[in-house]
Every structure is written in C-alpha cells, then in structure tokens.
Amino acid sequence: MLEVPERKPPPAADEAEAAADAGRRRPVPAWVITAGSLAFILAAWEFFGRDVNPVFGSYPSAIVEAGIQLARSGKLWTALLDSLQPFAVGYALAIVVGVPLGLVTGRFRAVEAAIGIYITAGYAMPLVALVPLLVLWLGLGFKVKVAIIFLLSVFPICINTWLGVTAVPKTLIEVGKSFVAPDSVILRRIVLPATLPYIMAGIRLAVGRAVVAMVIAEFFTSISGLGAIIITSANNFDTATTFVPIIIIMFMAVALTFMIGVIERRVAPWQAEIAGRDKQ
C-alpha cells in the first residue's frame, strides 16, 4: 500500500506531459485525466490518513471495509432506499413544478409582478430554520423529507428557468408572432426550447441542494436513511462508517450530474454545437 504513490509518477507531471503532447498528437481523453487525479487523491489520502487517530479521521481502505460491513448487515440497503425514495420524489417534483413556474413567471409580466418576489425570497430562505415547523405540519416520516428536498431544490430550478426566459431573444418570439402563433404555442415551441440550456443548468445546480436537503431532513427528522447512519456512527466515534454514506452521497450527486449532462446534450445538442466547447 505504501508503495502505491511511489510507483506511480505524480499526475501533475502526467498532466504537464499531456499538455505538451496535445500540441503534437491526439489529446489525452478527459476521463483519463479525471481518473489519474482521483487515483492520486485516494493514494495520498490512504498514505497520510493512516497516521491519523481513527476517531479524528479515516482513510479509503478502512472506509471500504466499513462499507462492506454495512452492506453485509443489510443496514446500508435499507438506509439507501429510505433516502433515495424521498430524494427521487422531492427532486422530480421540484423539476415538474419549478420549470413551468419559471417559464410562466419569465414570460408574463403580471405573473412576474405577482409571484416573482416569492421565488426570489424563497431561494434565499433559511430552510433549516423552518424544518421544526415542517415537522409539526407533516410529521417525521417520508412526507417531511420530500417537502424539505422539494423546497430546497425547486427555487434554483425556477429562478434559472425564469432568467432563461428573459434571455430569449425578442426576435425569436416575433418569428412566432409573425406566423400568428398563440401564446401557448410560443411558450412551448419557442420559449421552452430556447430556455432549455438554462433549465438544465438549474436542474444541475439543484442536485447539490437536493442532496444537502436529503441529509438535513434525515438529521432533523427521522432516524432513518443515510443521514441516520452518519449521526449514529458519528456518535459512536466510528469515523470510518461515518464516511461511508458521505462518500455514497457524493458519488450519487456526481453520477446524477453526469447523467444530466448526457441528457442535456441529447435534448439541446445545438447548444454544445454553437458553443463549440473549445477548451485549452
């Protein structure tokens, strides 16, 4: 284990070489760079983490071991299910409500004047402070988790959509008008597609917030889910086990963001093509 970082040349050198290579030959694929960076971080963590008191910190192999134990006992799977169900429902609900609300708010002056202020305020709302109240209303189970996840993720989606609509070129809307398109058709066939890149950005941003909301919900309300594993193991000074759900949640968020990126390129391919995605 200790030899790992020594055998592998540091990725910094790799990247420098890659950059020099790029000019001459084919560039190194992005995933190789990401994998190299990940390997370096994990190796360094493993190397230095072992010297730390296990109460104050942990390291990858210990975390994997704790993870396997959690999985064998079956606790991990129940917790995962307990967390993912409200996450999926709350997040999906945020998209279903946030996108149309943002579209309508951005498109119609009266709606913007009537509810824009609540959306702006809602985005900045200190939701954590409201959790006790939500518990009073909705109890301690599934419903309150969904509500917290929904409330924290709906606003970034809505605000981004709203912003996107205001950025739609006026002339594109005039194209619709010149063909006598009714408002509903202009909204669906011109404003919505023109706003898609913004909507997808909002949906991406909301992933992070929804994940945080999920953990908050489990900290404050029920003794279930991944959040509960974090709390109980932390209380038992079992730091390695504490890291298991944290890593899983981070992995989940990264995977979800990646998936959204894939969807984005499918539903709005012209955007990437226009931008060209030309990076150095």
**CB of 151 or CB of 165, closer to other proteins:** 165
The answer to whether residue 180 forms part of the interface with other proteins (CB under 8 A) is yes
How long a stretch of residues is the chain? 280
Contacts of 220 (CB under 8 A, 6+ apart): 128, 131, 132, 135
CA distance 242 to 223: 15
Among residues 127, 42, 38, 46, which one has the least CA distance to residue 90? 127
Q: How far is the CB of 172 from other proteins (least distance, A)?
A: 6
Q: How far is the CB of 62 from other proteins (least distance, A)?
A: 50
Cα 145 from chain centre = 17
CB of 106 to other proteins, least distance (A): 18
Rule CB under 8 A: is residue 189 a binding residue for other proteins? Answer: yes
Q: Which of 177, 188, 254, 258 binds other proteins (CB under 8 A)?
A: 177
SS (H, E, C) 27-80: CCCHHHHHHHHHHHHHHHHHHHHCCCCCCCCCCHHHHHHHHHHHHHHCHHHHHH
Nearer to other proteins, 117 or 185 (CB): 185
**Among 14-22, 101-109, 176-184, 205-213, the segment contacting other proteins (CB under 8 A):** 176-184
The contact mask relative to other proteins for 17-56 (x = CB under 8 A, - = no) is: ----------------------------------------
Cβ atoms of 167 and 198 within 8 Å: the answer is yes
Residue 177 CB, nearest distance to other proteins (Å)? 5
Residue of the chain from 19, 35, 172, 255 that contacts other proteins (CB under 8 A):
172
Please answer whether residues 40 and 11 qualify as being in contact, where contact means their C-beta atoms are separated by less than 8 angstroms. Answer: yes
User: Counting contacts by CB under 8 A, is residue 251 touching other proteins?
Assistant: no
Q: How distant is the alpha carbon of residue 187 from its chain centre?
A: 27
Considering only 10-18, 145-153, 179-187, 252-260, which stretch makes contact with other proteins by CB under 8 A?
A: 179-187
Tell me: does residue 223 bind other proteins (CB under 8 A): no
Q: How many residues bind other proteins (CB under 8 A)?
A: 21
Return the residue of 190, 199, 229, 256 that touches other proteins, per CB under 8 A.
190
Tokens matching residue 223:
């003794």
Residue 191 CB burial class (10 angstroms; 0-12, 13-18, ≥19): buried
Which one of 41, 68, 71, 185 is in contact with other proteins (CB under 8 A)? 185
- In the complex, what is the shortest distance from the CB of residue 195 to other proteins, in angstroms, rounded to a whole number? 11
Q: For residues 211 and 232, what is the distance between their CA atoms, to the nearest angstrom?
A: 19
Whose CA is closest to 99, among 214, 213, 200?
A: 200
Q: How far is the CB of 279 from other proteins (least distance, A)?
A: 19
Residues that bind other proteins (CB under 8 A): 169, 171-172, 174-181, 185, 189-190, 193-194, 196, 268, 270, 273-274
